[in-house]
A and B are shown apart, each in its own frame.
Chain A
């Protein structure tokens, strides 16, 4: 069964360092998303991406964050200068349809900022 894969599963970094989280969405999907879950809190929407551009983003997704689909298969989330509060589980998701389509989530990448 097709699935969304994320790497790394866990990354530890120092505050101020750049981090790139990688995702391989399901191959025929067109819509891509990042969500995050800070420990003990709700899963929160970060950004959605369609047709090589951001279609929607939350207020969490500030200038420190960027997304890219560099090669037609990967979908990346970059955090330019990590802060302690960026420590969270980051989930990538993809969908074949934008409207009421099912989101398929990856297993998540746990980011720990020290």
Chain B
């Protein structure tokens, strides 16, 4: 069965410092990988997606993620955190080749402090 593991349930960074949110997926042929963000009382918004094109994927708000097949990882990074980045982040995988039946990670809550 497909699965994704977010290694940290909570990450705290200072504003202006780098962000690293870790995600590992179970190995399978051609997964599609996504990062979604959920701000308080808001819906899930797509940050970026990997679908077997370039391994370094750039998303919105300065986020990017690198698909590393050898490590089965898809970590999310941002060079400099902003207060508005505080939210819940979900790593998501789909092996079906479709956008349906996404499998979500447990989420990482990002806290940004002054």
Contacts and interface: CB of A to CB of B under 8 A. Distances in A.
Chain B interface SS verdict (over half): loop
Interface string B70-114: 000000000000000000001000100111111111110000000
B56 interface: no
A105 B34 CA distance: 14
Interface stretch (A11-19, A73-81, A91-99): A91-99
Given A91-B43, A102-B49, A108-B43, A45 B100 contact: yes
Nearest to A40: B106
A101 interface: yes
Which 3 interchain pairs have the tightest Cβ spacing? A105-B44, A43-B104, A48-B100
Interface of B: 32, 36, 41-46, 49, 51, 90, 94, 97-107
Given A3-B43, A35-B102, A91-B43, 7 more contacts: A42-B107, A43-B44, A43-B102, A100-B32, A106-B43, A107-B41, A108-B43
